[in-house]
Each structure stands twice: as C-alpha cells, then as structure tokens.
Amino acid sequence: MMVTENGAKTILYLGGCRSGKSRLAEEYCRTAFDLRTYIATMTITGDEEMNERIAMHRLQRGVEWRLVEEPRDICGVLGSVPENGVVLIDCLTMWITNMLLADTSDTFMEQEVRRLCDLLRTPPCTVVLVANEVGLGIVPESALARRFRDLAGWANQQVAGVVGRVVFVAAGLPLLLKDEGGL
C-alpha cells in the first residue's frame, strides 16, 4: 500500500448497502490504531428509523472513537485532525447526498471531491473512507436519482484514483482492487 512521507496511508472500502464495508473499515482502524477519529456524514434527522440506525452505530463503535458529525464539510474537518492515528470517513455516498439535498450545484460538488482528493494526496494522517457502489443496479427512473448515481460514481472514481488501497466488499468478504506499493 502506498505510504506518504509522514507514514500515512489512504484506503477506500467500497461496496453495496449492507455489504460489510463499514464493519471491515472499522475493524482495520480498531486493530491498527489507538487514536481514532470517526467522521460521520449522517446526522440525526426527523427520520425515526434512521435515527435508530445512527444510535446503533454509535453504540457499536463505543467510546474509543472521537466522533465528528459533519454532513458536508468533511474537507474542513480532515484539515484539522491530529497528525497521528487514523480518520475514518463514513460515508462518501451520504456526503454526496447531503450536498445534493442542500441544492448545491454539480460544479460545487465536483470541486469538493477534487478538494478531498487533494487532501488525500498528502493526508495529515491515515485516512480510511467508506462509499457505496451505486452503479451496479438498474438505471434509476428519476432525473434526481440518475444525477445522484452519476455524481456518486464519479466521486468514487476520483477517490479510488488517488488512494493507495481500494477494497471492494461483497457479502462481508473483501476483494482487493488496488494496492499501490504492495502489502
């Protein structure tokens, strides 16, 4: 895996919903690092079922994570994290969703993805990212859903292009897609 000058690594866990990608990303962080920051892009909303999911995730992670809930400015948060340890960003797909629902332009979202990629080229610490692979299904019926699919797919390609390792997860099983520099 590619390691930067300061010893940092960058890893993208990519897969479908409920594929096990977040669990594997968290396990990696938990076993490899004592200092862990979790950037959650989903925050409490008016959706009771989603709020229950968030509460369950918080409980599962435990108190050994520094939690930052940030729906849109993950680049700002990433720029201010400790220089040792690991940052887990979960998930890029919700980040794209949050920007889309905030009625931001495609140009703005593309600039934010490029900004994230620039940060990932010289990260302040090891950064682990989680994203949904949304392009394996049918073509969505609505224009908004197609716009989301296209933006999420483009963002995944950009991030995968700059990180040192990409792991695709299906049925809880990891498949290594990219590993620059070897294991």
To the query of whether residue 57 is one of the catalytic residues in this protein, the response is yes
How far apart CA 117 and CA 157 sit, in angstroms, is 11
The DSSP bridge partners found for residue 38 are 67, 88
CA dist., res. 165 & res. 123, Å (int) = 14
Question: Choosing from 57, 66, 115, 149, which is the catalytic residue?
Answer: 57
DSSP string, 17-52: TTSSHHHHHHHHHHHH-SSEEEEES----S-HHHHH
- Amino acid of residue 88: L
Hey, which residues are catalytic here? 57
